[in-house]
Amino acid sequence: MAGEHIGIKKSNKDLAIIYSETPCIYAGAFTLNEVKAAPVLWDEKILQQSKMVHGVVVNSGNANAVTGTQGMENTQTMASLSAKAVGKSANEMLVCSTGVIGVQLPMDKICEGISLVASKLDDSPQSSNNVAEAILTTDTCIKEIAFCEEIGGQTINVGAIGKGSGMIHPNMATMLAFVTTDAKITQPMLQKALSKCINTTFNMITVDGDTSTNDSVIILANGQAQNLIIDKEDENFSKFCEILEAALKHIAIVIVQDGEGATKLLEVQMSNVLNFERGKSLAKSILTSSLVKTAFFGEDANWGRILAAMGYAGVPLNSENISLTLKSKSGSILMFEKGIPVHFDEDFALTILKEKEIQIIVDMAEGTEIVRAWGCDLSYDYVKINGEYRS
């Protein structure tokens, strides 16, 4: 891996290559935005062809989205130049871009930059950090995690890096996340594991309700571990999913924690809900409400807005069954019980809301499912960051 500053952004690293000498099987999940960026279309095409790949070339600072046929040509050039630098062919390299939408890539800088980055490829932890840094846009920190676990008595490694801070409301995927593993697994089972784990991680977060044109989660598996190949939904597959889910969940939660301007991490826990889809609709309606988000920023226990947001989630609702508790490490407080407002101590509520991580626990009293989703508050800085993004 390697990541460097090549001049797409004013400063900071902005181009990276993730490379495996061993060919990898690959699974991906991409944005459901109808306007897909050129690199998303490229990666989807390669996924359909089910080719083995050797890696990914990624740039930040420019999303290469709504850039027409020239945008598609530029993506292909990125793939072929980076492939050539490592002695492979263009359709063995995936491409990702993230940044401003609707501007053509500065191809002179990118062509030079790919040579530079390719010349620095190595396996050091520092290089992994550099890649994690080179994919950032408005993020304030790098996002990475690694697990070393056993499957069937054999050690496997899973590493994940991600980026994302605004335009976060993933639909089948998030901004950008790259997972590498040496686990032995077939392509269909790798895709199945990824799709399954995304449902409870990246698809359960929101920063601003905006689904990006470039959302991509890509997992590369080079099969170098000694585990028995995972080719069906058995115990080993479950174990692999468990590790993958933990990695994706970490990256997903760090993304909302680092949400543009965020001062608080909010976890909605819909408990005793009828089913997953219903819980998801309600939880995401709460977490996308600007009024709920600003109330938490203001540390104001204005819980009525949570009920109002549930009311327009698009699912039938009977508020008489519902109870609502706010919780943080300072304690918990019941605000609404089976349809009736509960008198509560405002000072204690403020103590709870002053914490950086807050749980909104909604007891639906209608089923047995528990559904969790994550978001953040809406602050002055979100407005500042996004009012000045291009300048």
Residues with catalytic function: 174
Q: Which of 152, 188, 298, 331 binds a copy of itself (CB under 8 A)?
A: 298
Site string for a copy of itself, 202-221 (x = CB under 8 A): ------xxxxxx--------
Do residues 28 and 195 make contact, with C-beta atoms less than 8 angstroms apart? no
Which of 23, 159, 304, 367 is close enough to bind a copy of itself by CB under 8 A? Answer: 304
Q: What share of the chain is helix, strand, coil (3-state, %, to 5)?
A: 35, 30, 35
At its nearest, how many Å lie between a copy of itself and the CB of residue 139? 16
Q: Is the CB of 92 or the CB of 260 nearer to a copy of itself?
A: 260
* Member of 80, 187, 195, 386 binding a copy of itself (CB under 8 A): 386
Among 152, 312, 321, 329, binds a copy of itself (CB under 8 A): 312
311 counts as binding a copy of itself under rule CB under 8 A: yes
Interface region with a copy of itself, contact rule CB under 8 A, candidates 53-61, 236-244, 362-370, 382-390: 382-390
Contact 64, 102 (CB under 8 A): no
Cβ 37 to a copy of itself shortest distance, Å: 9
Q: Which helix (H) or strand (E) holds 283?
A: helix 276-288
Q: How many residues are recorded in the chain?
A: 391
Give the one residue of 130, 271, 289, 359 binding a copy of itself; rule: CB under 8 A: 289
Q: What angle do CA 232, 233, 238 make, to 5 degrees?
A: 125
Nearer to a copy of itself, 201 or 213 (CB): 213
C-beta of 28 vs 170, nearer to a copy of itself: 170
Out of 105, 253, 307, 326, point to the residue binding a copy of itself (CB under 8 A). 307
Q: Cβ of residue 105: shortest distance to a copy of itself, in angstroms?
A: 12
8 Å CB contact between 56 and 1 = no
33 or 227, CB closer to a copy of itself? 33
- Residue among 35, 326, 378 at smallest CA distance from 207: 378
How would you class 123 by CB atoms within 10 Å of its CB: exposed for 0-12, middle for 13-18, buried for 19 or more? exposed
Looking at beta carbons only, is 14 or 182 nearer to a copy of itself? Answer: 14
Q: Per CB under 8 A, which of residues 67..126 are in contact with a copy of itself?
A: 67-68, 70, 100-104
Smallest distance from a copy of itself to CB 304, Å: 3
Binding residues among 123-162 for a copy of itself as defined by CB under 8 A: none
d(CA 65, CA 95): 13
Site for a copy of itself in 156-195 (CB under 8 A): 166-167, 169, 171
Closest distance to a copy of itself from the beta carbon of 142 (Å): 23
Least separation, in Å, of the C-beta of 34 and a copy of itself?
4
Question: Rounded CA gap, 334 and 332, in Å?
Answer: 7
Instruction: Count the residues of the shown chain that bind a copy of itself, applying the rule CB under 8 A.
Output: 71
Q: What is the C-alpha separation between 294 and 310, in angstroms, rounded?
A: 16
DSSP string, 23-85: EEEEEEEE---SS--HHHHHHHHHHHHT--EEEEEEEEEE---S-HHHHHHHHHHHHHHHHHH
113 vs 261, beta carbon nearer a copy of itself = 261
Structure tokens at 148: 């070393």
Q: Edge to edge, what strands does the sheet with 369-376 contain?
A: 340-341, 331-337, 323-328, 357-363, 265-273, 369-376
332: its two tokens: 């918990």
Closer residue to a copy of itself, CB minimum distance, 24 or 101: 101
Q: Which of 41, 274, 308, 361 binds a copy of itself (CB under 8 A)?
A: 308
Query: CB neighbours (10 Å) of residue 287?
Result: 26
**List 65, 118, 362, 376, residue binding a copy of itself (CB under 8 A):** 65
